[in-house]
Amino acid sequence: MPTRPKATTTDALGRTVPTTRKSWGSVMLLPSGNYRARYVGPDGLKHSAPSTFTTKIDADAWLASQRVAIDRGEWTPATTTASHAAQADRSQTFLDYATKWISTRTNASGEPLRHRTRDEYVRLLATVLQPLADIPLASMKASTVRDWYSELIASGRKTTASRAYGFARSVMATAVRDGLVANNPVEVRGAQNATTGRETVPPTDAELAIIEANMPPQLRAALLIAAWGGLRFGELTELRRRDLIHDDDLIRIRITRAVTRTTSDGFVVGKPKSRAGIRDVALPPSITSDVLDHLRDYAEPGEDGLLFPSKNGGHMGEPELNRSGWYAARAAAGRDDLPWHGLRHYGLTKYAIAGATTRELQDRGGTRPRPPRSAISTPPPTGLPSWPGA
């Protein structure tokens, strides 16, 4: 008849020794390699954890939780199962918890994460956050996070480090609210503000003129609208004929949508980046004829026709824009460092020079902070922003 494995514990030197009668409860190493925890409850009956543990420290923690419940007079047979469930939650890895977090997370408006945001979080989990992926929530230490962050910063990827840090901190903050960990271990001073230090320098008037002269005809209007209207790339490439309002020599653009390109779903049309992004933008009269010529020669037909479609139809992505003339045009102006987003900086800077107030700049750029709920009691004004001096 085979002998039963003896209950064991680990002493201060890390040695496995048999449990004594003085110890409360017992942890047994099973042939499977898992640990079984059990104790005698106040009812005089023997109680075992509903399932085994992969590590002894988790089994000991479960026994400690039962001891605390008994000492506080809060113990019932049901706490055996409930505390084990809580322990199991704390034992899940950062990767498992973060994956669930992404699928259930909502933004400030109570909406699911945008496709691009979700894809970015998944990418970070699969790349720079891998060193933290397999760590159980309850075992995540601030020192471990600091070491991970320091190595990432040392590699020169400051912006990526800032984004990954912000994501990890938000995930663990939710774990704190869920009662799975006592404190947020993702705490590195100044980490989320780390950047490469490189600033986007908008083009000068002379540089913009050279870029415009070297852009292919089908993209010239895109350059002008981006530069003088201050539109984001996703807002620009989702513009359709019906979004343009032509009144005498003035064209106003109604921005209610934007398109993003995701790795999981391709091009996705949704709302602009924020609620403030829904706005009307007046273009200066000096580019009216250029926009009208583009509508005649290059835009897709019909009210829903895209203003700047891909060569193969549908939305145009940044890689196609770059290959189709943007890189060559900026190189001609000696501005290989200029991102397309720099045109937005140019437009808003010129708008400010023309005399726009901070509020007008925020309205035109679609960046105005969201007002408190008490201030949203009446519909916003319907007046259209205009170009100062137009």
Q: How confident is the model at residue 176 (pLDDT cuts 50, 70, 90)?
A: confident
Q: In the predicted model, is pLDDT for residue 20 greater than 70?
A: no
pLDDT of amino acid 390 = 37
Q: In the predicted model, is pLDDT for residue 7 greater than 70?
A: no
pLDDT of amino acid 349 = 86
Q: In the predicted model, is pLDDT for residue 99 greater than 80?
A: yes
pLDDT of amino acid 386 = 42
pLDDT of amino acid 182 = 78
Which pairs count as long-range contacts for 377-386, CB under 8 Å and 24+ apart, including other chains?
384/252, 384/280, 384/282, 385/279, 385/280, 385/281, 385/282, 385/360, 386/282
Lowest mean pLDDT segment, chosen from 69-73, 140-144, 154-158, 381-385: 381-385
pLDDT of amino acid 109 = 67
Whether 293 and 226 have beta carbons less than 8 Å apart is answered as no
Q: In the predicted model, is pLDDT for residue 145 greater than 60?
A: yes
| Mean pLDDT value of segment 149-162 | 88
Lowest mean pLDDT segment, chosen from 46-50, 260-264, 273-277: 273-277
pLDDT of amino acid 127 = 93
pLDDT of amino acid 129 = 94
| Mean pLDDT value of segment 158-180 | 88
Interhelix angle 115-126/158-177, nearest 10 degrees: 100
pLDDT of amino acid 234 = 92
Reduced to 3 states, what is the DSSP secondary structure of residue 326?
A: helix
The better pLDDT of the pair 351, 173 is held by 173
Identify any residues that bridge with 262 across adjacent strands, giving them in sequence order. 266
| Mean pLDDT value of segment 284-293 | 94
Question: What pLDDT digit, counting tens, does each position of 320-347 carry?
Answer: 999 999 999 999 999 999 999 999 889 8
Neighbours of 184 (CB within 10 A): 19
Residue 218 DSSP label: H
Measured CA to CA, the distance from residue 96 to residue 112 in angstroms comes to: 19
Whether 61 and 86 have beta carbons less than 8 Å apart is answered as no
| Mean pLDDT value of segment 64-89 | 72
Share of the chain above pLDDT 90, in %: 38
Question: What pLDDT digit, counting tens, does each position of 35-55 carry?
Answer: 888 888 888 888 888 777 878
pLDDT of amino acid 106 = 80
pLDDT of amino acid 16 = 59
Query: Domains of the chain (ranges plus CATH)?
Result: 8-90 (no CATH), 94-193 (1.10.150.130), 205-368 (1.10.443.10)
| Mean pLDDT value of segment 289-312 | 95
14 class by beta-carbon count within 10 Å (0-12 exposed, 13-18 middle, 19+ buried): exposed
The better pLDDT of the pair 296, 22 is held by 296
pLDDT of amino acid 9 = 52
Identify any residues that bridge with 53 across adjacent strands, giving them in sequence order. 35
Q: Quick one: which of 286, 303, 309 has its CA closest to 222?
A: 309
Whether 26 and 7 have beta carbons less than 8 Å apart is answered as yes
Encoded tokens for 60: 């000991």
Q: In the predicted model, is pLDDT for residue 2 greater than 60?
A: no
Question: What pLDDT digit, counting tens, does each position of 349-383 carry?
Answer: 887 887 777 887 777 877 765 443 333 333 333 33
- pTM of the predicted structure, to 2 decimals: 0.58
